């Protein structure tokens, strides 16, 4: 037996491939992009019973090699060994949904025709049993000519057997299999029917739970009510549940900052740590709990099978602006962060639909806006109630979310009639079977997203904060001169202020926008740092950013600043990911230009209206 180096998982979408991948590799996973295409490459380490490690590759789900989506093309090219920069997998694990054999065997034959060493994982046998199916893996193995291992990935059943079978698999191609099959699609479908029939020992006429549950969840009246109720609960949870964790993190940063102040001698390096690093990065890390909570809901919706139902319910509404229900999923993710949202557009097959969704994703109110909204609202909007249990501050926050959504819908409508004009998009989507999500799979998914967020805080935001601190701190002001006026940052502010003055921005606000290009939440620490450095005396320096804003900004100015952040493309990572996902600079530039234009107009309109109303 020769050594094996790579093993790849192939199978239809919704065959439980990713759960199997998690069960086989645990958290030892690496996610990257395939070179040159926007399809994700998921690889992890699988340890064979002998202790020998192999690389396990989770290929994108495919219904056929002869189909349209970029995902399927990658799967085809990798298993055929024609994908540049990727080695041919030594062994394939073909994943079949035991309850959906007849359908999954169609693609299975296409894979087996390649004659590669293959093992079949007959997955989700528990769901098949739930549906009243008794299966005969040996009959299936005989019909296919390869080993068949029954598995339940989410319960880790059959995982060791599968690893053992991989170790046993011969790594040379099976020429015979290659000759045995060479069928057309209708022939494959017919033989899939025969094979499925032979493998099914008994079939009771038990009703699947899908129909019953879907009768409620997809009901034209009740379904949307449940969906919007759920969305309401999600957003409620994001704010309410995250508060104690956010407070704890904030307290931690405060303790750290106080510790640094106490132990270090006053000087430039201490200022750098407290004003730059801790104030800047700390103000961002505080939002980790909200991101984790929002993603927990999204991951549960996806893993349980409900997300596809949400797409089904939303399709009609999305069609109204020229999109399809499939765009709903990336747009919902964008409320946490536009980066994973834009990456999630990969599931949209139609290129124009996908492009439109990428271009409007930054308008969904991501969690990075919350620090900005929270600080400005608490500084200038009074804490009054406007009705039963409804506070004015909450109402303003809600209005900002709505403004983003409405803006996105209008932009989508305009884009679909102009730059992304084309045939009305279709909506073809499998509604997967309901399944209880596994905690470990959720934990892996949450960890990956939290890590992306923290890495961003640790890199882009860190660098932007430090750069701003340096620009604000040097050169040092002379006696009687304000530090802001003397600094390099002051010169930058003077340059861009004329553009923003008509929409009501003062010099500090204009300056805060510059580092906030890197990431919106930096605006808060930028204002904090600016006001701290520029304070004329110790009393002012001790005041928080909220008090300074309350004292120095008028209401129209603050509202204009909020309106700016609803639209402005203040996030380098989003622009970078848009470039990667559209393979070029053209669309990110279009995105940046239209968003800045919208931001300027929205801020201006808000300011002028507020001033003329005498606010």
Partner 1 sequence: MTLDGFDSGRTARITSVNWAILAEDEGKRLQALGVDEGAEVAIVHRGVFGTRDPLALRIGNMTIAIRRAHAAAIEVEAA
Q: In terms of CB distance, is 172 or 316 closer to partner 1?
A: 316
Q: In terms of CB distance, is 186 or 614 closer to partner 1?
A: 186
Min separation Cβ 31 and partner 1, Å: 26
Distance CA 174, CA 167 (A): 17
- The phi-psi region of residue 228 (left if phi > 0; otherwise alpha if psi is between -120 and 50; otherwise beta) is alpha
The DSSP element (H or E) to which 56 belongs, if any, is strand 53-58
Min separation Cβ 309 and partner 1, Å: 9
Q: In terms of CB distance, is 208 or 506 closer to partner 1?
A: 208
Q: In terms of CB distance, is 58 or 131 closer to partner 1?
A: 131
Q: In terms of CB distance, is 289 or 305 closer to partner 1?
A: 305
Min separation Cβ 131 and partner 1, Å: 8
Q: In terms of CB distance, is 16 or 504 closer to partner 1?
A: 16
Q: In terms of CB distance, is 142 or 430 closer to partner 1?
A: 430
Min separation Cβ 422 and partner 1, Å: 10
Residue at token pair 């007959």: 122
Min separation Cβ 116 and partner 1, Å: 21
Tokens for 208, please give them.
Answer: 């699947």
Pairing of strands 390-391, 148-150: unpaired
Min separation Cβ 64 and partner 1, Å: 4
Q: In terms of CB distance, is 312 or 561 closer to partner 1?
A: 312
Please list the residues that pair with 7 across neighbouring strands: 56, 91
Least Cα distance to 172 among 54, 88, 75 occurs for 88
Tokens for 601, please give them.
Answer: 């107009």
Distance CA 335, CA 314 (A): 16
What is the four-CA torsion angle of 16, 17, 22, 24, rounded to 10 degrees?
Answer: 110
The per-residue DSSP string of 367-419 comes to TTHHHHHHHHHHHHS---EEETTEEHHHHHHHHHHHHHHHHHHHHHHHHHHTT
CA 87 to chain centre: 28
Min separation Cβ 109 and partner 1, Å: 13
Three-class SS state of 84:
coil
Min separation Cβ 357 and partner 1, Å: 17
Binding site for partner 1 (CB under 8 A): 63-64, 66-69, 99-103, 106-107, 131, 185-186, 189, 208, 210-211, 214-215, 218, 220-221, 224, 308, 311-313, 315-316, 319, 325, 349-350, 423-424, 426-431
Angle at 407 between CA 323 and CA 591, to 5 degrees: 75
Q: In terms of CB distance, is 279 or 311 closer to partner 1?
A: 311
| HSE-CB of 293 using CA atoms within 13 angstroms | 21
Min separation Cβ 430 and partner 1, Å: 5
């Amino acid at each position: 037996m020769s050594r094996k180096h790579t093993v790849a998982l192939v199978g239809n979408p919704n065959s439980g491939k990713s759960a199997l991948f998690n069960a086989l590799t645990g958290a030892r996973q690496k996610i990257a992009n395939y070179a040159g295409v926007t399809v994700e490459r998921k690889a992890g380490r699988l340890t064979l019973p002998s202790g020998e490690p192999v690389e396990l590759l989770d290929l994108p789900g495919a219904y056929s090699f002869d189909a349209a989506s970029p995902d399927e093309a990658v799967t085809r090219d990798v298993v055929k060994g024609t994908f540049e920069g990727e080695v041919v997998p030594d062994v394939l694990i073909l994943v079949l949904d035991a309850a959906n054999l007849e359908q999954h065997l169609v693609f299975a034959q296409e894979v087996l025709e390649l004659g590669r060493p293959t093992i079949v994982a007959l997955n989700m046998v528990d769901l098949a049993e739930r549906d009243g199916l008794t299966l005969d893996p040996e009959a299936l193995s005989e019909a296919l000519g390869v080993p068949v291992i029954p598995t339940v990935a989410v319960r880790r059943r059959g995982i060791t057997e599968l690893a053992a079978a991989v170790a046993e698999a011969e790594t040379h191609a099976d020429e015979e299999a290659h000759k045995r099959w060479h069928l057309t699609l209708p022939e494959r479908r017919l033989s899939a029917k025969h094979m499925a029939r032979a493998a099914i020992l008994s079939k009771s006429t038990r009703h699947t739970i899908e129909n019953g549950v879907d009768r409620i969840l997809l009901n034209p009246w009740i379904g949307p009510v449940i969906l919007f109720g759920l969305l309401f609960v999600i957003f409620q949870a994001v704010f309410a549940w995250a508060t104690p964790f956010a407070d704890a993190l904030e307290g931690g940063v405060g303790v750290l900052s106080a510790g640094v102040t106490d132990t270090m001698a006053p000087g430039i390096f201490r200022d750098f740590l407290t004003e730059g690093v801790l104030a800047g990065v700390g103000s961002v890390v505080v939002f980790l709990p909200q991101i984790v909570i929002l993603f927990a809901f999204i991951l549960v919706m996806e893993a349980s099978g409900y997300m596809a139902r949400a797409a089904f319910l939303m399709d009609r509404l999305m069609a109204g602006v020229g999109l399809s229900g499939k765009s709903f999923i990336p747009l919902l993710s964008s409320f946490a962060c536009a980066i994973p949202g834009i990456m999630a557009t990969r599931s949209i097959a139609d290129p124009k639909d996908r492009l439109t969704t990428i271009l409007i994703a930054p308008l969904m109110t991501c969690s990075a806006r919350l620090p900005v909204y929270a600080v400005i609202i608490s500084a200038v909007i009074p804490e009054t109630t406007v009705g039963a249990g409804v506070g004015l501050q909450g109402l303003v926050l809600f209005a900002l979310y709505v403004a983003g959504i409405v803006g996105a819908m209008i932009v989508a409508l305009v884009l679909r009639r102009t730059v992304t004009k084309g045939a009305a998009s279709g909506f073809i989507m499998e509604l997967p079977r309901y399944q209880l999500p596994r905690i470990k799979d959720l934990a892996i998914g949450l960890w990956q997203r939290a890590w992306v967020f923290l890495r961003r805080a640790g890199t882009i935001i860190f660098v932007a904060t430090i750069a701003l601190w340096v620009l604000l701190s040097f050169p040092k002001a002379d006696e009687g001169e304000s530090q802001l006026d003397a600094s390099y940052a002051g010169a930058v502010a003077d340059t861009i202020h004329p553009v923003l003055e008509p929409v009501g921005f003062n010099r500090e606000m204009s300056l805060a926008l510059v580092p906030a290009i890197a990431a919106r939440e930096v605006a808060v620490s930028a204002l904090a740092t600016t006001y701290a450095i520029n304070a004329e005396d110790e009393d002012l320096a001790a005041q928080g950013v909220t008090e300074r804003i309350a004292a120095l900004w008028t209401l129209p100015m603050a509202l204009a600043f909020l309106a700016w952040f609803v639209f402005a493309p203040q996030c380098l990572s989003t622009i970078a990911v848009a470039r990667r996902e559209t393979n070029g600079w053209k669309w990110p530039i279009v995105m940046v230009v239209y968003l800045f234009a919208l931001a300027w107009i929205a801020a201006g309109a808000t300011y002028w209206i507020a001033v003329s109303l005498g606010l």
